[in-house]
Amino acid sequence: MAAPTKAPSTGHPNPTTHLVDPVAVAIRTRTPEDPAAIGRFAATDPAPGLDIARLPRVARVLRDRRFQFLLILPNQIVFWLVIGIGVLGTAVPGLNFATAITWYLWFALVFVMMVVVGRAWCAMCPFGGFGEWVQRHAFWRRKGTSIGLGLKMPEGVAQYGFLLSVASFLLLTWIEEFFNIAGPGNPMSTSFMVLGIVGTALLFFLLFERRTFCRYVCPLSALIGSVGAMGSVAGFRTRDRETCLACTTKDCMRGDADGYGCPWYTWPGSSDSNAACGLCSECYKACPSDNVGLFLQKPLTSVVAPTRRRADVAWSVALLFGLVVYQQFNALAPFANLDSWLNAHTHFPQYPNPIDYLGIIVAVALVMAGVGQVFTRAFAHADRVPTSGGRTFVDRVSPFRTYFLPLMYGIIPVVGADYFARQLPKFFQHVTRVPVSVGHLFGVGSTSSALYKASVIGSNGGIIAVQVGVMAVGTLAAMWTSWRVAGRDLVPVSRHGRGVQVAAVSLAALLGAATIVLYVLMNAAD
Amino acid sequence: MTAIETRPTASTERHVTVLVDRCAGCQECVIRCPAGALSMEPVTWTALADDALCVGCRQCERTCPFNAIQVEGPLAVAERHDPPLHHPVQLRGDVSETRRGFASWDEAVAEASRCLTCPDPTCMRGCPAHNDIPQFVKAVAERDLERAHAILRRTSVMPDVCSRVCNQAAQCEGSCTWSLAGGVPVAIGRLERFIADQVPVPPPAVRSGDSEPMSVGIIGSGPAGAGAAWDLVEAGVQVTVYEKDATPGGLPVWGMPDFTLPDAVARRPWEQLVEAGVDLRCSTPIPAESIDHLLTVHDAVIVAAGASVPIRLSVPGSDLEGVTDATAFLQGAKDALGPGGDADGFLAQMGCPTERGTRILVLGAGNTAMDVARLARRLGLEATCVDWLDERFALARPDELQEARDEGVEVRFSRTLTSLAGEGRVARATLAHTTQASRGETPKVSTTQFDEVEVALVVMAMGYRIDADLRTALPATPVAKKHTGYAPGRWTASGILHNPASSFNHGYPVGTMALDREVGLWASTLPQRSRVWVAGDALTGPSTVVEAMAQGRRAARAVLDAHPARPDRGAAFRAQHETRVLVVYASEGGTTAKLAEAVGDELRVQGALVTVAPVDRVGPRQLAAADALVVGTWVEGLVVTRVHPAAAMRQWIEALPTLGERPVATFVTYGVNPRGALDELGAALTAKGGVVVAEETFGPRERATETRIRPSKPEAFAHRVAARVLRTLATAVA
C-alpha cells in the first residue's frame, strides 16, 4: 500500500467528506523560520531555467533507480580490471593497463570533471559504489535494511568536516610518491593502492552509516568538495523553498519507498553550494512533491555565492595548495638536494622525506594563514568584524576567520588550475599508451609501437605553454572570484573597502604568478 | 497520593549540542520542539538551541533526520501523582472500582500542567482513536470541561469507558514524549476520566432528519456498533441495531467486571443512543447468511458482531465436568456479584464447592483471565492463572496484573496445561514448564518439568475468535493488523517509531503497534462486500474497546460518504450522491498518465466525481473515497517472451485490501502487443474482490492526443465506463 501521506495531486474530490483523518488535525507544528526573510540563499539559489530535471528525458533517467548503478558499473569493471591486471599483467608500466588507465587518463579526467562539473566522479565512483552496494545489499533497489553497524562519525572528528579527507589525501599522496606508484612504478603497486582504497571504503561503509566514508574520509572528497566549487553543476536543489519548508516528512533526508535518504547529509532545501551533493539523485527520487531539481549554474558560482564560508573548506584549500606547490617544488633541483640532505640526517631510506613533505605543505598553509592574519591587521574595522564565538571548528567565528575564509575561497580557481596543470605532462606525453596497453592484453601492443612512443604534445615547450595557459586562466578566474568574494564579504567589515578588494585580487595574482614561474622552472616534469 | 518519580527541574542542567557539520538546517527539530528552545542561526543556517528553555524531552533527537542534535540532562517535568488504588477491606463480594480518578481540580490541573502540548504529538498517534490529547489536556489545565468534551467528541464517543479500560501504557501514555524520553508520562487516561467524571458525556447531537434518510443496519452493539451508531444517528440516518443478547453493550457490559468498568458507565452509551432514536433490537441474532436479507431493507450494513467464540484448549480431560469458558463464567459471576445476585447459587450451579481454599484454574493470563481470576477471588475462591508466555512478554496490562496479584491471585507464567484429571469432574491439573526467549517466539514446552495443582473448576480464558460462519461470509476478514512497507513519512518524522526508552511502557514497541493499528482503522473504511462494512473485532479479530469504537466510527463515516442505496430506492435518493471514481495509473514515460487524465476528464463530463492519481500516491484514504476504480498501466516485458502489467501496478494490486465488489475498469497502454497483460490485470483485480466492468487497450496510435475522430478512443472508453458505473445504480432503480 502506498504511504497515505502522499495525497493525490488532484486532492480529495468530495469537499464534504465525513472521513477526516484525525491525526492530521491534531498536528500543530511550529512555523519554520523563513530564510527568505533574511535573504539567506538568495545569492546561491540557481535560476529555475537551469533545472535540467525539467527535461522529460533527463527526468526519466534520474527517476530510474538504476541511474547511479549504471554510472558506477563501467568504472567498477575498469577498476577491478586494474586490480587484476596490475598484479597479473606485464611489469612494464606503460604497457600495463592498470598503470596506463589510472595515471595517464583517469587522474586527468577526474580533475576535468571536478573543475567542470563538481562531484561528477562521486556519482560514478566505484570505490564508494562498491561499499554502498554491500551496505545496502542491493545494486539499485531500495531496501529497508542495511548491512553494517550504522555508526555515526564521532563529532570530535566530524566537526572538522573535510580535514580528515585532506589528511588521507596527504597520506595517500605520500605513499604514492614513496612507492613511485604513479611515477609510473611497478603496476602491482597501483593494484594494491586501488585495492587498499576499496578495502578501506568497504570497512567504513560497514562500520558507519550512509556515505560517511565519502563525506569525511575519502582522499578525494576534500579536493573535489573545495575545487569542485568551480563546477557548473549546482547539484540537486529545491525548486521551491516554500514547499520544502512546508514539508514535514523530509523524505529526501529520511528516505521513503522511492529513494534513500541523502547519503551525504545534505538537504536540497538548504544546499548553498555543490560541495556536499554527491549527485546520486536519491533526493530527487524520494521527494513526494517533485520539488527537487538538478540545476546547472554559472562556473565559479559555488566559489563566490555561498553565505556560509566553511572553515574546513578554507583550510582544505590552504593545505591542498601546499600539496600541489610541493608537487611542483619536488621537480626542482634544490628540492632534491634538500630531500637527500634530510634523508641522510634522519636515516630515512629514500624520497620523499616526510619532514620536508609535510614541512612544505604546512608551511604553505601557514603562509596562507599568515596572509589572512596580515589582512586582518591591515583591514579589519574593529566595530564591524564579529567578535570571537561559535560552537565548533566548522562554525567558529573570529576576526582572523572573517578574512582568512573568504580569501581562501577566492583562490580556489588557482588551486584548481594548479592541480589540473600538474596532471597535464603525464596526459600529454603518455595518454597514447592507454590504447596500447589495451591492445597488449590481446597481444597486439608493444613498447616499440609508434602509438606507444607517440604523444599528444611531445615538446616540453608545448606542455609548458599549455600549463602556463591553464594557470593564466585559473589566475584570472581567481582574481575575479577574489574581487567578488572580497567585495561581498570583506568590504563591509574593512576600513578600506577598495583596498581590501585590490589586496585580495593581488594575492590571487601573486599566487598564480608564483605557480606559473614554478611550471616554467619544472620544464614539463611529470 | 503516590509519588512515582522525582526529577530536578533546574534549566541549567540540560545541554543541547547541535552537530553543526551534520545539521542541514531542515528545521524538523525547530517545528516540533515543545519548548520553543530551537531557532536557526542565520549565517550557517543550522539549528541553534537555548539550553535555558530546553525541557529535555529529546523530541529533537528523535525527529532529526541526520541525528545531528543531542540532549543531555534530566527531564524537566514535575512528579506524577496517581490516586492510590482502592483496596476493599473485605474482597469477597466487593465489586467497587479499584482504580479511582482524580478527586479534585487541583490534582487534575497539576497533572495537566505536566503536558508539553507537543506540536507533533506522539501520544495522539499512540491513541487508537487519535484523540487530540494535548488539546483536551490543555482544556483541563484551563478548567474548560465543555471544550474538553468537544475535543474528545471529535474522536471518541466513550471517554468514560476508554479511560477506564484502555491499556494506556501501550497506547497514549506509552507514546507520550516523556515516556519516549525515558520518563514518566502524563496521566492521560486519568485526565480523560476526570473530564467524564465531572461532566457526563454529552448525548448524540442528532441532525434534523432528511425527508428520505439513509437506513443502516448494524449487527452487534459492542463498542464498534456503538461508535458506528453514534455517528450515523448524529448524521440523521435511520439506525437499526441487531443485538443477539438481551442487553446491549457487548463485551464491556457482559464481560468486564464492575471493579474495572461499573455497569452504569458501560450502559451509558446505549441509553443515550436509544434516547437519540436508534432502533435497538435485542435478542435478535443475525446469522451470517442473513446479511443478504438485511441488505434488502437497509442501504448499508455494518457488521460489528465482535469475536465472541471462546478459544478452547483440547487436552486430555478437557471434556470433564467443571471445565468451562470465560464467557459463561464472566456472565454468571458478574450477575452473581451484582445487585440481587446469588454468589453461592452461582458456584453451586458451576458445581464448585464453597468452602475455603477451593481453587479455580484460569488458563491464560491476559486481561480476560485477570477478570475471571479477580471475580473468582470476590466469590471467595482461590485463583491460579497459568500462561505459557514468559512474564516479560505477558499480554495483560501490567497494572492489572499487579492488582490481581495484590488481591491474592496466583499467576504462573511459563506454564502450560498438559492434562486434567478427575473422577467425572475435574480435580487435578498437570502443568508443564515452558521457556520463551523473545516476544513473538512460540514457547518451548518441557517434557520433564511438571507442576500438579488441585482444582475445583477450570476456566479457559485464552481469548476469542470470530464466528466461523461470519468469516466464510466475509472472506477477506479477519484483516491482519500489520503495517507493511515503509512507514508513512509523517509517522517516521514524529519520532514515535523510535524504540521507547521508558520502563513505564514496559518495553512495548508503541510506535510499531500504533502504526499496525492504522491498518485496521483504514480497513474499516473499505466495504468488504457491496454495501457491507465491517468494524471492530469482527474485522480484525480480538482487540480493544477503543479500537473497535474508532473503527465503528470510521465505518459509519465511510458509509455516509459512500451513500449506498438499497435496490428499491428511487432516483431522488440516489441523486443525493455523485459516483466517485478513482483513476489509478502506473506510467513510465507519461503516456499512460495522459490517457488516465483524458479518461478522468471525460468521466467528469459524464457526471462522476473523479480523482486521478499515480499508483504510488493512492493509499487507503483514496480507496475509501471511491465507489468505482479505473486502473490503467503501461506494460513491460518482451513481446517475444511475456508481457505483464507494470511491476509497480502489480505490487500495488498485490497489497490492496479487498475491493468489496466495487466496479473496476481496466486499460493498458502498449508499444507493440499487450498480449495477456489486460487479462492479467483484470484477474488480479478480480482476485481482490473487484468486479471488472470495462476493459480497453491503447496502442501507439491511440493516444490521448488523438483528436481527429470524436469521440476519441479514450473518450469512448470513458463513456463505456460511465455507462457501467453510473448505470449500475440506474439499473438498480429500474
Query: What mean pLDDT, rounded, does chain A reach?
Result: 90
DSSP strand pairing (B238-242 vs B279-281): parallel
Question: Is B501 an 8 Å CB contact of chain A?
Answer: no
Residue B265 domain-assigned (yes or no): no
Mean pLDDT of the region B258-285: 94
B130 with A23: Cβ contact below 8 A: yes
Distance CA B242, CA A171 (A): 81
Residues B484, B407 share a domain: no
Residues B711, B655 share a domain: yes
Residues B422, B357 share a domain: yes
Distance CA B255, CA B329 (A): 9
DSSP string for B349-406: HTT---STT-EEEEE--SHHHHHHHHHHHHTT-EEEEEESS-GGG--S-HHHHHHHHH
Cell numbers at A260, concatenated: 534513500
Kindly report, residue by residue over A207-252, the tens digit of the pLDDT: 999 999 999 999 999 999 999 999 999 999 999 999 999 999 999 9
Domain region containing B712: 578-733
Distance CA B24, CA A263 (A): 13
> How would you write B178-221 as a 3-class SS string?
HHHCCCCCCCHHHHHHHHHHHCCCCCCCCCCCCCCCCEEEEECC
Instruction: Specify the number of domains making up chain B.
Output: 4
Residue B19 domain-assigned (yes or no): yes
Cell numbers at B615, concatenated: 499508483
B703 has a pLDDT exceeding 80: no
CATH of the domain at B196: 1.10.1060.10
Model pLDDT, residue A58: 93
Chain B segment 644-683 residues within 8 A of A by beta carbon are 652, 655-657
| Nearest-10 crossing angle of helices A354-379, A311-329 | 130
Residues B140, B60 share a domain: no
Which own/partner pairs from A105-111 qualify as long-range (CB within 8 Å, at least 24 positions apart)? A105/A427, A105/A431, A105/A434, A107/A182, A107/A423, A107/A426, A108/A420, A108/A423, A108/A424, A108/A426, A108/A427, A108/A431, A110/A220, A111/A416, A111/A419, A111/A420, A111/A423
Kindly list the residues from chain B whose CB atom is less than 8 angstroms away from the CB atom of residue A394: 20-21, 44
CA nearest neighbour of B163 among B83, B239, B218, B91: B83
Residue B97 domain-assigned (yes or no): yes
Kindly list the residues from chain A whose CB atom is less than 8 angstroms away from the CB atom of residue B69: none
Question: Is B610 an 8 Å CB contact of chain A?
Answer: yes
Distance CA A353, CA A356 (A): 6
Residues B107, B151 share a domain: yes
CA distance B319 to chain A (A): 46
Interface test with A, best of B20, B123, B609 (most A CBs within 10 A): B20
CB B419 within 8 A of CB B430: yes
Distance CA B619, CA A256 (A): 15
A333 has a pLDDT exceeding 60: yes
Residue B60 domain-assigned (yes or no): yes
CB B4 within 8 A of CB A141: no
Residues B413, B499 share a domain: no
Confidence of residue A430 (pLDDT cuts 50, 70, 90): confident
Kindly list the residues from chain B whose CB atom is less than 8 angstroms away from the CB atom of residue A267: 24-26, 65
Chain B segment 429-488 residues within 8 A of A by beta carbon are 484-488
B5 has a pLDDT exceeding 60: no
B235 with A269: Cβ contact below 8 A: no
CB B102 within 8 A of CB B1: no
Report the sign of the C-alpha dihedral through residues A438, A440, A442, A448, in that order. positive
Interface test with A, best of B66, B577, B612, B659 (most A CBs within 10 A): B66
User: From B589, which residue of chain A is nearest by alpha-carbon distance?
Assistant: A60
Kindly report, residue by residue over A441-463, the tens digit of the pLDDT: 888 877 788 888 888 887 889 99
Out of A32, A254, A308, the one facing B44 most closely (by C-beta) is A308
Out of A9, A266, A391, the one facing B18 most closely (by C-beta) is A391
Q: Which residues contact B423 (CB under 8 A, 6 or more apart)?
A: none
CA–CA–CA angle A126, A226, A313 (5° rounding): 120
Kindly report, residue by residue over B490-511, the tens digit of the pLDDT: 999 999 998 777 777 777 889 9
Distance CA B366, CA B388 (A): 11
CA nearest neighbour of B468 among B455, B477, B456, B459: B477
CB pairs under 8 A between A and B: 224
Cell numbers at B725, concatenated: 458505473
CB A376 within 8 A of CB A412: no
B611 with A8: Cβ contact below 8 A: yes
Residues B496, B445 share a domain: no
CA–CA–CA angle A163, A265, B175 (5° rounding): 130
C-alpha R_g of chain B:
29
Question: Is B20 an 8 Å CB contact of chain A?
Answer: yes
A166 has a pLDDT exceeding 70: yes
Report the sign of the C-alpha dihedral through residues B368, B370, B373, B377, in that order. negative
A4 with B619: Cβ contact below 8 A: yes
> Domain locations in chain A?
35-63+233-296, 67-227, 311-522
CB B303 within 8 A of CB B475: no
Distance CA B50, CA A503 (A): 40
B619 with A155: Cβ contact below 8 A: no
Kindly report, residue by residue over B420-452, the tens digit of the pLDDT: 999 989 999 999 999 998 877 899 999 999 999
Task: List the B410-413 sheet strands across, edge first.
Answer: B323-325, B457-460, B359-363, B382-387, B410-413
Residues B725, B609 share a domain: yes
Cell numbers at B697, concatenated: 487497450
Kindly list the residues from chain A whose CB atom is less than 8 angstroms away from the CB atom of residue B232: none
Distance CA A286, CA A254 (A): 9
Distance CA B187, CA B2 (A): 13
| B676 DSSP assignment | T
CA nearest neighbour of A129 among A77, A63, A81: A77
DSSP strand pairing (B382-387 vs B359-363): parallel
Residues B590, B501 share a domain: no
CA distance B590 to chain A (A): 9
Distance CA B497, CA B499 (A): 6
Q: Which amino acid is at A382?
A: A
User: From B654, which residue of chain A is nearest by alpha-carbon distance?
Assistant: A1
Residues B180, B38 share a domain: no
Residue B225 domain-assigned (yes or no): no
CA nearest neighbour of B169 among B75, B77, B227, B82: B82
DSSP string for A235-257: EEEES-HHHHHH-SS-HHHHB-S
User: From B27, which residue of chain A is nearest by alpha-carbon distance?
Assistant: A32
C-alpha R_g of chain A:
25
Dihedral (Cα; B301, B306, B308, B309), 10-degree rounding = 70
CA distance B399 to chain A (A): 28
B589 with A257: Cβ contact below 8 A: no
Phi and psi torsions of A409, nearest 5°: -60, -40
| Nearest-10 crossing angle of helices B105-112, B188-198 | 140
CB B292 within 8 A of CB B558: no
Residue B209 domain-assigned (yes or no): no
ipTM of the shown complex: 0.90
With residue B238 as reference, give the H or E element that holds it. strand B238-242
Out of A18, A248, A395, the one facing B20 most closely (by C-beta) is A395
Model pLDDT, residue A403: 96
Kindly report, residue by residue over B7-46, the tens digit of the pLDDT: 444 446 899 999 988 999 999 999 999 999 999 999 889 9
Out of A26, A31, A257, the one facing B132 most closely (by C-beta) is A26
A2 with B618: Cβ contact below 8 A: yes
Q: Which amino acid is at A153?
A: M
Kindly list the residues from chain B whose CB atom is less than 8 angstroms away from the CB atom of residue A249: 488-490, 492-493
Model pLDDT, residue B706: 58
User: From A269, which residue of chain B is nearest by alpha-carbon distance?
Assistant: B26
Residues B414, B337 share a domain: yes
Distance CA A154, CA A164 (A): 12
Kindly list the residues from chain B whose CB atom is less than 8 angstroms away from the CB atom of residue A160: 21
Kindly list the residues from chain A whose CB atom is less than 8 angstroms away from the CB atom of residue B493: 248-250, 254
Interface test with B, best of A9, A10, A19, A289 (most B CBs within 10 A): A19
Q: Give the SS3 label for residue B609.
A: strand
Distance CA B342, CA B363 (A): 25
Question: Is B31 an 8 Å CB contact of chain A?
Answer: yes
**Cβ neighbours of B229 (radius 10 Å):** 33
With residue A289 as reference, give the H or E element that holds it. none
Model pLDDT, residue B733: 41
CA–chain centroid gap for B640, Å, is: 48
Model pLDDT, residue B707: 61
Confidence of residue B534 (pLDDT cuts 50, 70, 90): very high
CA–CA–CA angle B507, B511, B514 (5° rounding): 115
Kindly list the residues from chain A whose CB atom is less than 8 angstroms away from the CB atom of residue B657: 1
Confidence of residue B704 (pLDDT cuts 50, 70, 90): low
Return the bridge partners of B242, or none. Answer: B219, B281
CB B706 within 8 A of CB B594: no
Model pLDDT, residue A2: 37
Q: Which residues contact A312 (CB under 8 A, 6 or more apart)?
A: A160, A161, A162, A163, A222, A393, A394, B21
Confidence of residue B711 (pLDDT cuts 50, 70, 90): confident
Residues B456, B331 share a domain: yes
> How would you write A386-409 as a 3-class SS string?
CCCECCCCCCCECHHHHHHHHHHH
Kindly list the residues from chain A whose CB atom is less than 8 angstroms away from the CB atom of residue B20: 159, 391-392, 394-395
Mean pLDDT of the region B391-405: 86
B24 with A144: Cβ contact below 8 A: no
Cell numbers at B172, concatenated: 497514549
Q: Which amino acid is at A358?
A: L
Kindly report, residue by residue over A104-136, the tens digit of the pLDDT: 889 889 999 999 999 999 999 999 999 999 999
B26 with A159: Cβ contact below 8 A: no
Chain B segment 613-632 residues within 8 A of A by beta carbon are 613-622, 624-625
| A267 DSSP assignment | -
B27 with A245: Cβ contact below 8 A: yes
Cell numbers at B711, concatenated: 469521440
